[in-house]
Structure 1
């Protein structure tokens, strides 16, 4: 590995300072936060401004905000992202932690489609495959994605007279009951499905957001009932939330 270039490192440190606070900085702010000499900061700020990485804030002399160049680079990065590939990497990491089956899924109409999957190494495990399509209301990923829809869009996809199929006796088939369940999911930020798509499996799921904050997928962990308990559910909810947050960060989401 080659030597790090101090001037480049310092310039990047300055740019990363804009991730915090109100998004504007002055040269004295940078000197104080990075403990750099004033002359060094002046030269770096001048160079970054000349290349449109930062620009002066109108009406606030001596203060700067991010320029158009970081946005252009971020947009190009976003264009190259592959949700399935990124999801597969994160799913693998989550599965290595819990040794259960992990999925990443997207919503299409009223169905979910699994776009990434990593299996548990246990002999008893959920059997599924990437590309499989299931009714959203019967799965934790699907309920998480439905819960993330605006009310009007949810009503159009699942109207009051919707015919919700049952995959098991535990499946929700009443639209009103589904909406009640989705309201709880919105409040908790995670979804739980207990034997609603498979009589021998329960799942937890958390939302995956893109750089705009929009929910574009969900990550779930599926567990056979022989390894399921309230304590285990709590552990997996936290792990699913962390995995979904990691994937969201890969997609450019910075959080609130």
Structure 2
């Protein structure tokens, strides 16, 4: 591996300061935050401004904000993103950690479609496939995605008071009960499904967001009943949230 170039590292440090900044920064603020010499910071911001990675707002002389070139690079990165491919990479990482089956799914009307999947190496594991479609209300990923919908969109997916289809005896079939559960999911930020789509499997799921903060997918960990316990739920929820957060960051969310 080649050596890092100090000047380039410092320039990137300057740019990355703006990831945690809502507005503008002055050269003295950058100097203080990075603990660099004033002359070095002056040279860095002058160069970055000349290349349009930073700019000085007309109404804030002496201060800097991200420039159009940074936006162009970010937009180019977003254009080349593939949710399924990125989801597969993150699912692999999560599965390597917990050795359970990991899915990434998106919502399609009242159903979820799995777009990425990595199997557990255990002999006893969930049998599924990318591309499979299931009723959203019977799955952890589906509940997470339904809970993220605006009220009008949720009403369109769950119209009336007709009972919902059941996949197992434990499936939630009451629209009212489902809405109550979705409110809890919304509050907690994670969803749990206990043998509702498969009598031998339970799952946890967390939301995946795009660069604008919109929930576009959910990541789940599926565990056979023989390895499931309420004591393990917190650990699995933490892993699901960590994986979903990593995938969100890959999609440009911060």
- Give the TM-score, by structure 2 length: 0.97
Distance 2:169 2:230 in 1: 21
Deviation at 1:162, TM superposition (A): 4.6
Q: Distance in 1 between matches of 2:175 and 2:26?
A: 54
**CA–CA distance in structure 2, aligned partners of residues 74 and 22 of structure 1:** 17
| Kept in 2: contact 1:53–1:70 (CA 8 A) | yes
Q: SS of the residue aligned with 2:196?
A: coil
Aligned residue in 2 for 1:30 = 30
Describe how 1:74-223 pairs up with structure 2 within 5 A: 74-223=74-223
Instruction: Give the paired residue count.
Output: 254
Measure how far apart 1:243 and its partner are.
0.8
SS in 2 for 1:218: strand
Tell me the SS of whatever aligns to 1:122.
Answer: coil
Native 8 Å contact 1:23 1:66 kept in 2: no
- Once residues 226 and 3 of structure 2 are traced to their aligned partners in structure 1, the CA distance between those partners, rounded to angstroms, is 52
What secondary structure, in the 3-state scheme, does the structure 1 residue paired with 2:36 have?
Answer: coil
Distance in 1 between residues matched to 2:227 and 2:149, nearest whole Å? 32
1:241 counterpart residue number? 241
Q: Distance in 2 between matches of 1:32 and 1:234?
A: 40
1:111, CA displacement in angstroms?
0.6
Q: Whole-Å Cα distance in 1 between the matches of residues 80 and 208 of structure 2?
A: 18
Contact persistence 1:160–1:176 (CA under 8 A): no
The alpha carbon displacement at 1:60 in A equals: 2.2
**Secondary structure at the residue paired with 1:19?**
helix
Query: Which sections of structure 1, spanning at least 5 residues, go unmatched?
Result: none
Gaps of 5+ in 2: none
Q: Counterpart in 2 of 1:44?
A: 44
Give CA-to-partner distance per residue, 1:203-237, whole Å, 9 cap, x none.
Answer: 00000001110000000011111111111111101
C-alpha distance in 2, partners of 1:235/1:7? Answer: 42
